[in-house]
Amino acid sequence: MASKNIIVKFSDGRKCPQLGLGTWKSKPGEVSQAVKDAIDIGYRHIDCAFVYGNEKEVGDAITEKIKEGVVKREDLFITSKLWNTFHRPDLVRGALMKSLQNLNLEYLDLYLIHWPQAYKEDGELFPADENGKIQFSDVDYVDTWKALEPLQAEGLVKSLGVSNFNSRQLDRVLEIASIKPVVNQVECHPYLIQRKLKEFCSSRGVMLAAYSPLGSPDRPWAKPDEPRLLDDARLKAIADRLGRTVAQVLIRYQLERGNIVVPKSVTRSRIESNFSVLDFQLSKEDLELIDSFDCNGRFVPMTASLGHKHHPFENDEF
């Protein structure tokens, strides 16, 4: 069992383990074992989403570990996300209930709007026309947020947040919110350190959660000539000096910045290694050096919805 996780506190007073297991791209057939391994190793925070298509298997693993007595439900912190085709206010509750059913849970600890841009409702998760272009919906995420708030009062979710929102979009939600978002989950790693967005979020009591902290090397659209964070010689030098892996340095980097971080793996040895980051620190010089790698290098640009009026990366600096 690895050392105990660091616990962070949201602006609403709720607590969250800072280091979690990501499940994006974890295939059915692999994800259940990965979640069981993670819980056995000491992870208590599992990051899910409806669109990942694997929530049911995640739920089976959680149910099994609770039944075995390894954990109680209240020991776990489970996040899921509202997909783009369910932004219309009348669809929000049903989408949450479906995730709860998949995960076999009575409540979520955190529910996020997965992206600010809405897609055409009542069909496929990626509704496309005959040319393969994604079909948009003009639902405003502000109305989606309003539909989420009563679900917290019902006890179906403990905390609410957003994902992939830029500063202007987050501000619009904060302006109308009776219940404030506690988290903005965004891509974050040394090539995209999100300094301005983090400062913006911090000033408003919103925590940054980092996805793809290892640069998402298994993303389906990766090109062979694109730089790989895990192969970066400068990071390797830091890792070698500390007797660590590059992945451990990348995870530790986010922890030291105060960000929640959800690295994904389905390999037990890596899941274990990724959790063994609580017993070392990066020096101030290391952190400054890693900060200097920032080149606005986004690995998850969401090109499928370019042209959407609520696309988060097209028109705003951060």
114 a known binding residue? yes
Distances (CA, A) of 179 to 19, 162, 209, 210, 286: 25, 12, 19, 22, 38
Q: What pLDDT score does 28 carry?
A: 75
Q: Provide mean pLDDT across the span 215-227.
A: 87
Nearest in space to 309 (alpha carbons), one of 171, 146, 119: 119
For residue range 47-91, list pLDDT tens digits in order.
999 999 999 999 999 999 999 999 999 999 999 999 999 999 999
The active-site residue, picked from 52, 111, 119, 141, is 52
Do residues 170 and 160 lie in contact, with contact meaning Cβ atoms separated by under 8 Å?
Answer: no
Backbone φ and ψ for 281, nearest 5 degrees, come out as -135, 155
- Predicted confidence (pLDDT) at residue 119 exceeds the cutoff of 60: yes
For residue range 120-159, list pLDDT tens digits in order.
999 999 999 999 999 999 999 999 999 999 999 999 999 9
Distance CA 241, CA 283 (A): 12
Distance CA 87, CA 104 (A): 23
Nearest in space to 77 (alpha carbons), one of 278, 285, 260, 294: 260
**Bridge-partner residues for 19, per DSSP?**
261
Distance CA 102, CA 100 (A): 5
Residue 253 is among the residues annotated as catalytic for this protein: no
Q: What is the DSSP string of 223-268?
A: -TTS--GGG-HHHHHHHHHHT--HHHHHHHHHHHTT-EE--B---H
Res. 16 pLDDT band, cuts 50 70 90: very high
Distances (CA, A) of 123 to 26, 55, 119, 127, 153: 24, 19, 10, 7, 29
Backbone φ and ψ for 109, nearest 5 degrees, come out as -80, -30
Residues 6+ apart with CB under 8 A from 298: 187, 192, 313
Q: Provide mean pLDDT across the span 96-103.
A: 98
Distance CA 285, CA 251 (A): 17
**Bridge-partner residues for 21, per DSSP?**
46
Distance CA 2, CA 276 (A): 6
Q: Provide mean pLDDT across the span 231-235.
A: 97
Q: What pLDDT score does 220 carry?
A: 86
Q: What pLDDT score does 1 carry?
A: 38
Q: What pLDDT score does 218 carry?
A: 82
CA angle 274, 276, 279 (to 5 degrees): 140
Q: What pLDDT score does 298 carry?
A: 94
More confident residue, 29 or 238: 238
Q: Strand, coil or helix: what is 109?
A: strand
- Predicted confidence (pLDDT) at residue 3 exceeds the cutoff of 80: no
Q: What pLDDT score does 225 carry?
A: 87
Q: What pLDDT score does 25 carry?
A: 84
CA angle 227, 231, 236 (to 5 degrees): 135
For residue range 236-265, list pLDDT tens digits in order.
999 999 999 999 999 999 999 999 999 999
For residue range 264-307, list pLDDT tens digits in order.
999 999 999 999 999 999 999 999 999 999 999 999 999 999 99
